[in-house]
Amino acid sequence: MSAIETAPAPVPTTPRPLVRPELLAPAGDWECVRAAVENGADAVYFGLERFNARMRAKNFTQADLPALMEFLHKRGVRGYVTFNVLVFTHELSDAEDYLRTIIASGVDAAIVQDTGICRLIRKISPDFPIHGSTQMTVTGDAGVEFARELGAELVVLARENSIKEIHAIQDAQRAANKTPLPLEVFVHGALCVAYSGQCLTSESLGGRSANRGECAQACRMPYDLISDGAQVDLGDRKYLLSPQDLAGLDVLPELVKAGVSSLKIEGRLKAPEYVASITRVYRQALDKIFAEYDNASAPFDAARAKYELSMTFSRGLYTGWFNGIQNQELAHGRFGTKRGVLLGTVTRVADDHVALRLESALKPGDGVVFDAGNHAAGEEGGRVYQVEPQRNGETVLRFGHGDLNFRRIKPGNFLWKNNDPALDRELRTTFEGEKIRFTRPVDVEVHGHANAPLTLILNDREGHVVKLESQVALAAAQNQPLTQQRLEDQLGRLGGTPFQLGTLSSHLEGAVMLPMSELNRIRREASTELDRLRGLPKRWTLVEKTPPLSFAATNSAPSNAALIVLVRSLEQLDATLAAGGFADIYCEFENPKHYRDAVIRFRTWQSSVAGLQVSGLSPQVSPPAIWVAPPRIFKPGEEWILKQVRSSEADGYIVRNHEHLRYFKNDRKRGDFSLNVANPLTAEYFISHYGLERVTASYDLNVVQLESLLGSAPGAWFDLTIHQHMPMFHMEHCVFCAFLSKGKDYKDCGRPCDKHTVALRDRTGSELPLKADAGCRNTVFNNRAQTGAEYFDRFRALGAQNFRIEFVNESPAEVTRTIAHYQKLLRGEIGGTELWKELRVINQLGVTRGQMEAAPQVIFKKN
């Protein structure tokens, strides 16, 4: 279902002063740290050996923190630790110990996803800075306010927010008469096709959760598009879910005008050359913007910059969603791996060379790859040995003997330059060794008069100030007095330090002089002391360790268990009503206009069974109710969808994001899995702070982790989903629009999502159902249902009461049959293992235990 209408985000009404944003670079190891620092990063972000969303990076250890922070702070660079994963109940004690080490080490902030971890940080430190991670899925001002209430001092917006939406979020913050919370955006690097914090693909397919730092990058794999049961011929477009890489260079001035506080470069898994290149390009581009603002100039070669960005790492460079939605451009579909710079198309192939008309510069030693449009089958590539221009305009390329299989290369293949050794060497010279290359301004003041010491004050603009007096008194100058120029010449000699002379204010009285040796001595001592002060760890308040937060869990098993059925069509709803035996029905329809019809059907059914015991189960404490779910993501301008959902007059609403918490604050509401409830601190916050009746336990939890959660909080707090097709990718990218139309968005796509039943076929032959919602966002579902039936008795013993089963494409007959089997389980007429076996038989594709099965591997490993 495509969106029918959407109000445009309001344009900014109040001009904002231009504020220089922080340039934030990734750092996977020490070399990357140096690469970032020496090329102008204002801050770096890095992970430790646990609790971060890039577990494949080298990462630092707790023992590294003091030296790392001292190095960064001496260079005027802030350091942020990524704590951007969901934390399970049994890990909370370890998480607290980690956080205490982080805070005591003087780290500048922690980047946090988990709501409970934000609460834990505030419990142990009232002033340590929290940055809300993009994994929080903040897409509007309600999400910004959510982060503020948790104590965050900055929030990272979703990559899917456009510049217009960023303006709208800023204006909404101001309209609320609150000081705007600083906003951070990703400005360059790999784009996740799914919303961060909402991708369950790796978890579903292999127990490697993106919310736990172990994304398997299934989005970079090839897929076939299946529409109405037939494969769509897309030619060489196979990488349907692989976006081009984000490059915000062209919209940098607009991001600055939008008041973004921090510009983040993605890439903690990338090489130091990548970090050096991207950091210096954006440093130069930012400096140029602000130089022009001051009617000055700064060097910046735009063509050279784009070449460099392409060569360091590129799947194609694109502005992402900054300029709005353009589904024809975001994911071209031809490849999902690094390419570089396009050199041209092969015109001829011989036994020992190829020919083409070069479109970009190429030299011997450069690395190239031949693109036949089928990356998964393997590609030919290597280093060019000779480059021979021909009279007809072609260029012949020769390679080392045996380096290529020329029979696999065909005329028409694209040729890409994917490595430039000269550029790599140049980049390494920017950070190798101990040499200080990038310096930051220090402001200088001098005071004094004849027969008194000279007072020298250094201020690094970061709160560090040094004041020293000369050991020799100033004397009246007979010649060569300490003029402004003379002072700048001498006090500006800061080579070998991380400083450069900023402003110099002379308050000397009269023409005075001082021996140059003394002036140099005091300059050296002052800069040394300033360097020492900057290296001292920041002091945050750290509360003594107290007993952990606990919640009374009266988990004696109740007399009956409740079955909740989630349906995705009116036909499934009718089958569920006919089956009976449920406590509540949840509806998640592609078109929320149909919710009104669903509620009418439910009320009619309700009237027909009034006064009767609901068939199949013991009487409920409260009568069955119908609940409806708004779309999983909300962005500025989509209030009309929420109004449409509420107009159904359902009994309650399934809240799935921060805007829902605000919009439905006066209604009955329960939290869906998208709130990422993985520990009792998070669960209690949503229930007590937002008045949710229950929350759905995170789909990242396996059986052992669910048992730990139930053992720490009342079972009545939770819905446990024990049968479902896991929702894997949840995307702004619309596959229907991109590959079944020529349109760029819902306005001109023709709404193929309303006309076709579509699936994506992966490399194993599995056909994964694809659905669109009212906001035109797509969800890819696992084609095999997973069940936790075998663990039902264990959950009941821990006090779990509410068990949810979900349907996607099941027929009414399948719905009826599945409900009947779970009714037997809840009544105790069949055991979990027996039900597991029956479900495997009656389901065409069988069933799986999915993520709920306790995996043998250790998710987090200490170095």
Residues 299-326: tens digit of each pLDDT: 899 999 999 999 999 999 999 999 999 9
Residues 640-671: tens digit of each pLDDT: 999 999 999 999 999 999 999 999 999 999 99
Tokens of 221: 């794999």
Q: According to the model, what pLDDT value does residue 498 have?
A: 96
Q: Encode burial over 369-396: b for 16+ CB neighbours within 10 A, e otherwise.
A: bbbbbebeeebbbeebeebeeeeeebbb
Mean pLDDT of 88-92: 94
Are β-strands 262-265 and 183-189 bridged in parallel, bridged antiparallel, or unpaired?
A: parallel
Average pLDDT (2-12) is 43
Letter string b/e over residues 441-474, b meaning 16 or more CB atoms within 10 A of that residue's CB: ebebbbbbeeeebbbbbbbbeeebebebebeebb
For the record, the structure tokens of 584 come out as 């509540």
Q: What is the Cα gyration radius of the chain?
A: 31
Class of domain 562-727+782-852 (CATH, top level): alpha beta
Give how far Cα 456 sits from Cα of 318, 448, 515, Å.
50, 9, 15
Q: For 201-216, what is each residue's pLDDT tens digit?
A: 877 777 777 777 778 7
Q: According to the model, what pLDDT value does residue 246 have?
A: 97
Q: What is the pLDDT of residue 511?
A: 95
709 within 8 A of 718, measured Cβ to Cβ: yes
Q: Which CATH number fits domain 22-189+247-318: 3.20.20.70, 3.40.605.10, 3.30.565.10, 3.40.250.10?
A: 3.20.20.70
Q: What is the mean pLDDT of residues 472-499?
A: 95
CA end-to-end distance (rounded Å), the chain: 47
Please spell the DSSP secondary structure of 533-601, one letter per residue. HHHSPP----PPP-PPP------PPPS--EEEEEESSHHHHHHHHHH---SEEEE--SSGGGHHHHHHH
Mean pLDDT, to the nearest integer, of 174-191?
94
User: Distance between CA 444 and CA 195 in Å, rounded?
Assistant: 47
Give every CB contact of residue 274 below 8 A, 6+ residues apart in sequence: 267, 312, 313
User: In terms of C-beta density within 10 A (0-12 exposed, 13-18 middle, 19 or more buried), how is residue 824 classed?
Assistant: middle
Q: Write out the E strands in 95-165.
A: 109-112, 130-132, 154-156
pLDDT of residue 377: 82
Phi and psi based region of residue 151 (left: phi greater than 0; alpha: psi -120 to 50; beta: remaining):
left
More confident residue, 382 or 213: 382
pLDDT at residue 497, as a whole number: 96
- CATH class for the region spanning 333-428: mainly beta
Residue 609 confidence class, pLDDT cut points 50, 70, 90: confident
CA pair distance 655, 663, nearest whole angstrom = 9
How many angstroms separate the CA atoms of 403 and 383, rounded? 8
Tokens representing residue 785 in the block: 């249902």
Is pLDDT at 858 greater than 60 in this prediction?
A: no
Distance CA 338, CA 473 (A): 64
What pLDDT is attached to residue 526? Answer: 97
Cβ contact 598:590 at 8 Å: no
353-371 pLDDT, tens digit each: 999 999 999 999 999 999 9
Paired with 459 in beta bridges are 443, 465
């970032």: which residue's tokens? 36
How confident is the model at residue 559, as a pLDDT?
61
Instruction: Report the phi/psi class of residue 616: left, alpha or beta, with left for phi > 0 and alpha for psi in -120 to 50.
Output: left
**Does the pLDDT at position 295 exceed 90?**
no
Query: Residue 408: pLDDT band by 50, 70, 90 thresholds?
Result: very high
> Mean pLDDT over residues 815-828, rounded?
95
> Residue 11: pLDDT band by 50, 70, 90 thresholds?
very low
User: Bigger pLDDT: 58 or 183?
Assistant: 183
Q: Which of 337-341, 460-464, 523-527, 836-840 has the lowest mean pLDDT?
A: 836-840
pTM: 0.93
H helices of 647-731, where?
Answer: 658-663, 680-690, 703-710
Q: Please name the residue ranges forming H helices in 294-347.
A: 302-312, 327-330
> Percentages helix, strand, coil for the chain, rounded to the nearest 5?
35, 20, 45
The Cα–Cα gap between 572 and 574 comes to 5
Mean of per-residue pLDDT scores for the chain: 91
Predicted pLDDT at 2: 40
Residue 293, pLDDT above cutoff 70: yes
pLDDT at 625 over 60: yes
Q: Does 155 score more than 70 pLDDT?
A: yes
- Percent of the chain whose predicted confidence (pLDDT) is above 90: 82
The residue ranges of every structural domain in the chain are 22-189+247-318, 333-428, 440-535, 562-727+782-852
**Residues 232-270: tens digit of each pLDDT:** 999 989 999 999 999 999 999 999 999 999 999 999 889
The stretch 95-103 carries a mean pLDDT of 95
Beta bridge partner(s), residue 663 = none
pLDDT-derived band at 854, boundaries 50, 70, 90: low
Measured between alpha carbons, how far is 108 from 117 in angstroms, rounded to an integer? Answer: 17
pLDDT beyond 60 at 115: yes
Q: Which residue has 């001092």 as its token pair?
A: 153
Question: 612: pLDDT confidence band, cut at 50, 70 and 90?
Answer: low
pLDDT for residue 15: 55
% of the chain exceeding 70 in pLDDT: 93
Q: What is the pLDDT of residue 13?
A: 47
Q: 506-563 pLDDT, tens per residue? A: 999 999 999 999 999 999 999 999 999 999 999 999 998 877 777 766 555 556 899 9
Residue range 818-830: mean pLDDT, rounded = 94
Q: Is the pLDDT of residue 859 over 70?
A: no
What pLDDT is attached to residue 617? Answer: 47
* Fold match, 22-189+247-318 / 333-428: no
| 553-595 tens-digit pLDDT | 655 555 689 999 999 999 999 999 999 999 999 999 999 999 9
Pairwise CA distance, residues 559 & 815, whole Å = 26
Residue among 109, 486, 37, 50 nearest 276 (CA): 37
